[in-house]
Structure formats: C-alpha cells, structure tokens
Amino acid sequence: MITIGVEEEYLLLDPETCLPVPLADQVRAAAGLGPIAEDGELQPELLQAQVEVATPVCTDLDEVGGHLLRLRHALGTAAEKNGCRLAATGVAPFRTEAPVPVTRNARYLALRSHAPQLVAEHLVNGMHVHAAVPDKETGVAVLSRVRPWLPVLVAMSANSPFWDGKDTGFASWRTVIFGRWPVSGPPPRFTSLADHDRRIQSILDTGTVDDTGQLYWQARLSERYPTIEVRCTDVQLRADAAVMFAGLVRALVATALREHRAEVPLPECPHELLQVMNWHAARHGLSGLLIDPSGRARKAGDMLCVLLDHLTPALEEAGDTREVTSLVHRLLQEGTPADRQRRALAEGGLPALTELITGETAAT
C-alpha cells in the first residue's frame, strides 16, 4: 500500500469584509495543536494571513479525512476566538490596499527581497499530496507518467475565480498567479535521476532561485520525504473533496509504478502542449472541454471517465473505488468549487460568498 500525506493552506478572513487579516500567529497559538516544528502538523506560511497544516503519514483515505477534519476544526475554532474565519479558497477574493505582512522567517523575508510584488500578491492556497515512492530514480519515472494528467486535476480542483473583488474569468486564478514564479507550472519530462539532478543544478547555478524549495513545479520529488509531491490543486472547500484528490493522486502514482515496472512506453506529451492544457484547465475548469494527454479535446465529463478508467485497477487495489468515484460523481453534479463560489455571489452577494468559503471548511 502506498502511504500518503496531505498539506493544506488556508486564509484568515474578516467575517464582515472578507478581507485577509494578519492573525496567523494568534490563531496558531490558540489552536492547541502543540509546538510548531519542521515536521509538525501546524506550520507557518509566507504571509501572516495564512496558515498551513500537514497530516501525519496515512495508509487509508479515512485516516486522511479524519486528520483534515480535526486540523480544520482546531484552526477554525481558534480563528473564531480571534475574531476571524478560516477560509478554504484558492485565492483571497478581496485584498487590502496595504500588503499583508510577511511571516518573520529568514526564507520568507529573502523571498520578499527577491520578488516583492509577487510576494505581496501571494495570497494563494493550495493542497499538496505526498505519495510514497521506493526511491528517487523510480520517482523520476513516476513523474514522467503522472505529468500529463495534472491539468485534469487542475480543472477538477478549481476554487479561485475571484481576485480584487472581480471575476477573473478563470476557474483557478491561483494557477495563473503561481505561474509567474521562475520555476513553476507542469514539470518537464526527465529521462533519469541523473538528468533530473543535472537540470535542477543548472537552474540553481543561475542564482535566480536559492534552493530546491523554490522549484514550484506542479509535481516534484520531495526533498524532505521519500515521496512524489503533487501540488497542482487549489485547496478545497470541503475536507472530503481533499480526500478525493488524495485518492486520485495515490492511484496515479500506483498506476505509474505498475506501468514503469511493466516497461509500458512513456506517454508522448510535449512540454508546450502540457502548458497549453494547464492554462486551458485553469481557465475553464469543468465548464467546457478538456484536453487529454494526446492533445485531443474532450467533454469534461468524458475526460473524467477516461481518468477513472485509467486508475480503476489502482483504486480497486487500494479499496478506494467507491469513495473516490462517488465524490467524482458529486463533483460533476455540483460543479467545481469555483462554480459554487460564482453561484453564491450571484445569489446572495458577499455574505453568501463568505459563508461558503468559511462555513464548509470544517463541515463534516
């Protein structure tokens, strides 16, 4: 069984104005989750209006869901005690005129010095799924097989349509904002671990990025853990939707491992096509067509069926088929979180939008 872990980032918002509030230190202190440590469940984020959680290593999806609900509830309660709300949305729908302060951390302060405007606008929240791999050489092979499916996950997870109080026209504006960093977007295809390490070193040698932590590809080898880290998805409104993506990522990695061992030829997906697929997914979500790994346009519902067919053996082996497929069907019925945000604002204005992105964060 492939073990998994999930990291989630959230915003702290004023319940009346929906504006970010820099209360991360107070909320973390009130959450009652123990001291903040490098490998702890509660971690600081770039801006002081953000908080991040990390589950322990999990073997099944029920574990993932239980930990996420526990962490979301603890932070949500702590936020309420400090006069704000915990929000699971991919970007801040509204911003204050003055930038949110940067967390007093040497790494984050260096980032602000390096790219001040990007840091000021980095009010974005993602969900990262770690899935275990046997070794780094195998991990590189897995990356090459997972990368063509990342745009589908981007479309499914879209939860960031509003920015500065306006509809961006994009389902995942977070994907666009993240794409402005020097190393971002879909990862390139690597031929081996040696090729991977050589090309990363050539990036570091330029001095444009300080370390491998600033390689913001949507999927990458983790430096800290023996895992593949898939980080293309917006944070989800609901914890069970996050569980769905954890199951999908584990199945993608398991399928890639099986194909690698069986020496199935690598999928042909040029990097320029993958970039187009990623932009298209961020723009439209599930509202129209998606582009499959061969470059063919398909209806979004058909594309999700193709994905599930691809993953069926791995889902069945893990015992995740029923839970994941039922959540995918719910997603097709309700639309993406971006669709739900748009409906809430249209039907109930700012109060309804605020209630949606904060009220479902810790809902069971």
CATH of the domain at 296: 3.30.590.20
Residue 140 pLDDT: 97
> Number of folded domains in the chain?
1
Residue 304, in any domain of the structure: yes
How many whole angstroms separate alpha carbon 216 and alpha carbon 274?
A: 16
Below-70 pLDDT ranges, the chain: 34-39, 364
- Asked whether residue 112 is domain-assigned, the answer is yes
pTM of the model: 0.96
Question: Which residue, chain included where needed, has tokens 């053996």?
Answer: 313
252 occurs within a structural domain:
yes
Strand spans (E) along the chain: 4-13, 42-44, 50-54, 85-87, 126-132, 162-163, 166-167, 184-185, 216-217, 219-221, 227-234, 289-291, 297-299
Cα–Cα distance for residue pair 241/62, rounded to 1 Å: 12
**Enclosing domain of residue 8:** 4-338
Q: Write down the pLDDT at residue 361.
A: 84
| pLDDT score for 38 | 41
Sign of CA dihedral 224, 225, 228, 230: negative
For residue range 29-66, list pLDDT tens digits in order: 998 775 443 457 888 899 999 999 999 999 999 999 99
**pLDDT exceeding 70 applies to what percent of the chain?**
98
- Rounded Cα–Cα distance for residues 194 and 134 (Å): 17
Residue 349 domain-assigned (yes or no): no
Asked if residue 187 is part of any domain, the answer here is yes
Angle between helices 193-205 and 136-146 (to 10 degrees): 80
* Any domain includes 352: no
Is residue 359 in a domain? Answer: no
CA 38/CA 112 separation, integer angstroms: 21
pLDDT, residue 37, reads 39
> Is 264 a domain residue?
yes
C-alpha–C-alpha distance, residues 317 and 329, integer Å: 20
Residue 151: phi, psi to the nearest 5? -60, -30
Between strands 4-13 and 85-87, the pairing is antiparallel
The pLDDT of residue 15 is: 95
Contacts of 208-213 with C-beta under 8 Å, sequence gap 24+, read 208/182, 209/182, 209/183, 210/110, 210/114, 213/107
